[in-house]
Structure 1
Amino acid sequence: MSEKQSAITIQDAKGTLAIVFSEATTAPERIRCSTLASTAFGKSLSAAEYLEREEYLGNLPLARGAGWRVWSLRSANDPNLVFAMCKTLHRDLLVRDIDGIISQEQGYCICSVITDSRYRGRGLASVLLKNVAEWLDGPGNAKASMLYSDIGDFYVSKGWDVLDAFQSTLTVPPPIPRARVDGLPKTRLLTRDDLPNLCERDVESLKNDFHHSKPAAGTILVTVLPTSPTISWLQSRTDFMNAKSHGKVPETKGTICESADAWMYWYHDLRHNKLIVQRAKLPKPQGDTNVDVTRALVELLLDTLEEAAKWGLQKVVIWNPSPRLRDPLKHLEKQLEIDITTEKRESSEIPCLRWHGGQKLSTTVSPNEFYGWS
């Protein structure tokens, strides 16, 4: 796509700003945008490390080519001055419309929305997002877009509607109350090499689930597909951060119970002292297997707690746990006395969604787990 440029003038009590909305396509333009982004999103890294991370992530399969675009508002008089910027990162969406028709669609996650602190309060973020939305509805060919924010209400006025955001937090006990007993479902830990095949299986399983789903009348069902590029992008980002902050990268990336066709991807957030479950792929229905699926999930959750304990992490976090995880979580809480808190997120990482053209549609996002975050 050729660079889009729109001349815009902002006049307010602070004066006049002549600005241009454009895509940052050259290396110097991207560096200027990343330098601005680092002031808000790179506080645990040096400026050089942040630029190194951005270059590294930009070359991963999910972001390569046009998968990751950088947008800016810059001065019309000084192209080196960036007032505000954000990024759009590719997402594969699975959509079941109100007629039951299922399709795979182009989507995006909007991330790193930032305005230079010297120019805040002048509506620049609103102008930036308005122009990005026009691109999404036009050349971007976006069925929908998502973002995650600490100020969800701000984005509602820009067309992105807030979604429910719940999470369960498990406190890691010392020691993990686990007994290895013959006859229980067997699990094994996952490495990065396991992920591509499992992601492919997971995508096909979700498509099958959508065919058999029964959403409320007039409701669209949508999810971000947990493709290998999506899962590995976040894994790679976290590996980079752990290497810089702690000088080490955990090799295990999850756990699987093959007999139940169930697994979990996780990543170690060493800086914030927690292990986050990216995706919990649920077992086959009870009637399709002789495995006790509740116990299989309990075993996967215990693997997760053990992995967190191995690294001295205090918490395990699961976003929007499925109703089918309730019994396993209850077992951990009641039978094994694991402290579990389930609460609604209202002030951090709030998911928001905007449909093409800003349509207001009755929507269920399921699954809506951590792997969709950027």
Structure 2
Amino acid sequence: MASAPLDLPDSASPTLALSHPTEKEKIAQFKQNGVAWRGALSLESYLRREEILSSQNLTKEGGLTYWVLVDTAAQDRLVLSGCETYRKKALVARNGKVEETTAHGVGSVFCPPQLRRRGYAARMMQELDEVLRTWQSEGKECLFSVLFSDIGKKFYAAYGWEPFNSSHISVPAKTSTIVETKNLPTAQPLYEDDLEELCKTDEAMLRKSLEARPADSNVAVALIPDVDTIRWHHAREDYVGRELHGKAPIVKGAIVGSEKGKRVWCYWTRMWYNNNPKETKGNTLHVLRLVIEDEPHSSWEGSGTNHTNGSGRSHQQNGDEPSSYHESAITSLLLMAQREAQEWGMAELEAWNPTSEMVSAAQRLDPSAAVVDRDEESIASLKWHPLHTDPVAESIDWIGNEKYGWC
């Protein structure tokens, strides 16, 4: 790679600004960041994947925006840093009211290696903060944005994206043989056509849960796990599956029960991280979203902020003990997930910010399973854009802080 020019602008220069890349600049960024992010794909396959992912219902027609930091005074335009933002449907509960808002997920923050340590990424995030306050929000204020840091908790926190709970529990992909399955409820696979109705049910529970919050509660925010969001994850999975294995996975999750109001289900996605497609190390089946449908144990209770055990909610807050039925149902879901993970070359399956029942279920499959608090990778971070005097992570509850929100 050619060395960087010597007359690079200072990162504090008033002539630096956010812009949208040309198609040529966008491809050049992909070619550079693909070295780190293509996983088991060839560079050519990685470029095709990004093109396909940009045309999903979630991302088309302005759902995905590309950004670059450039020097507007330079005669020959040079991309100093770049990123993407995903428009996301969200809800905010505050002062006893629930309002719909446009939120944004920031992803693919990248600075070419030869331009690093000059403050360009930091300047880009500062510029992005200002733009996102009203971006695609129809003249209203965009209340919050999220990102998932792979460089620890400090860098993005310096620009307002504060770290929230970033914990997970994992179990090996190898199917557990220590669980007595005859005592478990039966899990059925979920397919593409099953998702839309379940996502609508989940969203309705979310709204009802937020509406029931006391007026003096913390501000609560939630990204809506609508079907377009779930299908974006599956489009990524389908493409990589075809590239590596010649076929796409058809089982997208699992469900226990058929009576509405009493079902338990989850969606998942397989991610191949290993550069060697013949090895399983690092490959992970991620639980995108776990849903417990009955109201007393709604999956939307609690928050993803201050639970030291990594749980997204705490049933003990109302004097309830975790339901043994729900724990058994989740165990059945995880057993099916294990089989799917093993079939598709995964090393493990993982659930973010696990509920107390999820932790118990995982430990039934693997007694050594423990909640891990991540310090470096996939740090869930949130920026509250309106002026706020309190630290965000202490005054805002991020509801449903699970893998489906990742971008």
Alignment pair present for 1:245 and 2:241? no
For 1:313 and 1:138, the matched residues in 2 are separated by 41
**CA deviation profile, 1:6-34 (whole Å, cap 9, x unmatched):** xxx9338xx9996442123x533432333
Q: 1:112 maps to what in 2?
A: 108
Match of 1:280 among 281, 290, 306: 290
Does the Cα contact within 8 Å between 1:72 and 1:86 map onto a contact in 2? Answer: yes
The code of the aligned residue for 1:273 comes to: N
Q: 2:205 maps to what in 1?
A: 205
**CA deviation profile, 1:190-241 (whole Å, cap 9, x unmatched):** 11121122111111111122223459x5511111110111111011112222
Q: What's the CA shift for 1:338?
A: 4.3
For 1:305 and 1:130, the matched residues in 2 are separated by 42
Please show how residues 56-67 of structure 1 align to structure 2 within 5 Å: 56-67=52-63
Does the Cα contact within 8 Å between 1:304 and 1:316 map onto a contact in 2? Answer: yes
Q: 1:3 maps to what in 2?
A: none
Q: 1:54 maps to what in 2?
A: 50
Q: Are residues 231 and 287 of structure 1, via their aligned partners in 2, closer, same or farther at CA, if it must alter by over 3 Å? A: closer
For 1:214 and 1:176, the matched residues in 2 are separated by 45
Match of 1:262 among 261, 264, 279: 264
Q: 2:385 maps to what in 1?
A: 356
The code of the aligned residue for 2:269 comes to: Y
TM-score, normalised via structure 1 length: 0.85
Aligned residues: 355
Q: 1:139 maps to what in 2?
A: 135
Please show how residues 117-266 of structure 1 align to structure 2 within 5 Å: 117-141=113-137, 142-151=142-151, 152-181=153-182, 184-213=184-213, 217-257=216-256, 258-259=258-259, 260-266=262-268
Q: 2:405 maps to what in 1?
A: 372
Q: 2:344 maps to what in 1?
A: 311
Q: What's the CA shift for 1:346?
A: 0.8
Does the Cα contact within 8 Å between 1:58 and 1:64 map onto a contact in 2? Answer: yes
Q: Are residues 206 and 22 of structure 1, via their aligned partners in 2, closer, same or farther at CA, if it must alter by over 3 Å? A: same
The code of the aligned residue for 2:86 comes to: L
Q: 1:87 maps to what in 2?
A: 84
**CA deviation profile, 1:173-201 (whole Å, cap 9, x unmatched):** 4553455538x533210111211221111
**CA deviation profile, 1:115-149 (whole Å, cap 9, x unmatched):** 11111111101111111111111334321100001
For 1:176 and 1:277, the matched residues in 2 are separated by 21
Q: What's the CA shift for 1:35?
A: 3.1
Does the Cα contact within 8 Å between 2:253 and 2:267 map onto a contact in 1? Answer: yes
The code of the aligned residue for 1:373 comes to: W
**CA deviation profile, 1:308-332 (whole Å, cap 9, x unmatched):** 23335331100001234344345x1
In terms of fraction of residues, the more strand-rich structure is 1
Match of 2:37 among 22, 36, 41: 41
**3-state SS in 2 of match to 1:292:** helix
Q: 2:70 maps to what in 1?
A: 74
Does the Cα contact within 8 Å between 2:326 and 2:357 map onto a contact in 1? Answer: no
Alignment pair present for 1:323 and 2:356? yes
Q: What's the CA shift for 1:43?
A: 5.2
**CA deviation profile, 1:66-121 (whole Å, cap 9, x unmatched):** 11000002354355632210000111112111x12111210010000011111111
The code of the aligned residue for 1:341 comes to: A
TM-score, normalised via structure 2 length: 0.79
Q: Are residues 91 and 292 of structure 1, via their aligned partners in 2, closer, same or farther at CA, if it must alter by over 3 Å? A: same
Does the Cα contact within 8 Å between 2:359 and 2:371 map onto a contact in 1? Answer: no
Does the Cα contact within 8 Å between 2:170 and 2:362 map onto a contact in 1? Answer: no
For 1:322 and 1:162, the matched residues in 2 are separated by 19
For 1:210 and 1:364, the matched residues in 2 are separated by 11
Does the Cα contact within 8 Å between 1:176 and 1:306 map onto a contact in 2? Answer: no
**3-state SS in 1 of match to 2:68:** strand
For 1:178 and 1:312, the matched residues in 2 are separated by 22
**3-state SS in 1 of match to 2:380:** strand
